[in-house]
Amino acid sequence: MELLTPSSAPRHGRHARVMEEVTQPVTAPASQASSDNCPVVSLRGINKSYGEGALAVPILHDIDLQVEQGEYLAIMGPSGSGKSTLMNIVGCLDVATSGTYLLSGTDVSQLDDEGLSRLRNRTIGFVFQNFNLLPRETAQENVALPMLYGGVPRSERIDRAREALEHVGLGDRVDFLPTQLSGGQKQRVAIARAMVMKPSLLLADEPTGALDTASGEQIMELFQELSDSGATIVMITHERSIADHAHRLVFIRDGRLYTSEEVEGVAE
């Protein structure tokens, strides 16, 4: 393990592109969010530690990562490797201690709560391991929730929620409560909810972690379809079989990122 070099070395993933040369202005206006030429995710020198001063516990070290539009990236790592922290930073749920994070060209560190909320709402779709559906709301209401915060009018919310549910094959389950759905169906509702705002990034944290193998495979197929239709996906997992669905794979160990070559090279 100690032979591994940090991820600052050039990466050659299956779908890796040239990223080191990209220099985005630090305070890119939010209106650039959908511009075609900038990567969806651009992390530079990201450090994250919890606690203060001498008691600070470092979690992430010098993370550099870029995700281009349409890319399907898997981040693999064992528990405690910092992958959840990385996911939270990428998902704008947490802020880095140092380093720069541009999400679709927008510098996240410059945003206040309102701005971050709007960014999460418009730019990122979350899929969680435990689905995180509101138990008292129907599938359709769960899917409509992000549109409520996005200021979409009510009638449009209903239409788009139905559409999104049909898209994930749950057109006949719109009025079901989460308790009336199987695990795989719940995760489909969650994916519909994540995609309903047409985000630039789909962020999935162990999306199959709570599912049996068959349902997990179905979810992976759905991810593949989404990827084929142009969605940018970042998926975090600890299962190699799941990670292999992605176009590109990076590994996280003890808070540092490695390419698959680096890891495999060590393994050989």
Partner 1 sequence: MLENIRISLRGIWSHKMRSFLTMLGIIIGIAAIIAIVSTIMGTNEQIKSNLIGQGNNTVEATLMQDGWEADFSNQSIAGVPVFDQSIIDEILEIDGAEKASLYHTRTWVDSLYYLNTSLSGATVLGIDENYLDCAGLSVSRGRGFSLRDHVSNAKVALIDQTACDSAFGGQDPLGKTLEINREPFTVVGVVTMRSAFEPTINSMEDYELYTQDSGGKVYIPDKSWPIVFRYDEPVSVMVRAASTDDMAPVGRELANLLNGKLSVKEGAKVSYQSSNLAEEAAQLQQLASSTNAMLIGIASISLLVGGIGVMNIMLVSVTERTREIGLKKALGAPRRTIMLQFLTEAILLSLMGGVVGVVVGIVLSHVIAAVAGVPVMISGLAILVAVGFSMAVGIIFGLVPSLKASELNPIDALRYE
Residues forming the site for partner 1 (CB under 8 A):
88, 91, 93-94, 113-114, 117-118, 120-122, 126, 128, 132, 134, 136-137, 145-146, 148-150, 154, 193, 197
Q: Which is nearer to partner 1, 24 or 123 (CB)?
A: 123
Find the shortest distance in angstroms from Cβ 194 to partner 1: 9
Find the shortest distance in angstroms from Cβ 91 to partner 1: 7
Taking Cα atoms as reference points, which of 163, 38, 172 lies closest to residue 105? 38
Q: Which is nearer to partner 1, 78 or 150 (CB)?
A: 150
Q: Which is nearer to partner 1, 137 or 217 (CB)?
A: 137
Q: Which is nearer to partner 1, 48 or 173 (CB)?
A: 48
3-state secondary structure the chain: CCCCCCCCCCCCCCCCCCCCCCCCCCCCCHHHHHCCCCCCEEEEEEEEEECCHHHCEEEEEEEEEEECCCCEEEEECCCCCCHHHHHHHHCCCCCCCEEEEEECCEEHHHCCHHHHHHHHHHHEEEECCCCCCCCCCCHHHHHHHHHHHCCCCHHHHHHHHHHHHHHCCCCCCCCCCHHHCCHHHHHHHHHHHHHCCCCCEEEEECCCCCCCHHHHHHHHHHHHHHHHCCCCEEEEECCHHHHCCCCEEEEEECCEEEEHHHHHHHHC
Find the shortest distance in angstroms from Cβ 115 to partner 1: 9
Find the shortest distance in angstroms from Cβ 188 to partner 1: 17
Pairing of strands 72-76, 248-253: parallel
Neighbours of 211 (CB within 10 A): 21
Q: Which residue has the tokens 């599912």?
A: 211
Find the shortest distance in angstroms from Cβ 148 to partner 1: 6
Q: Which is nearer to partner 1, 170 or 196 (CB)?
A: 196
Q: Which is nearer to partner 1, 120 or 162 (CB)?
A: 120
Find the shortest distance in angstroms from Cβ 262 to partner 1: 28
Find the shortest distance in angstroms from Cβ 266 to partner 1: 31
Q: Which is nearer to partner 1, 22 or 95 (CB)?
A: 95
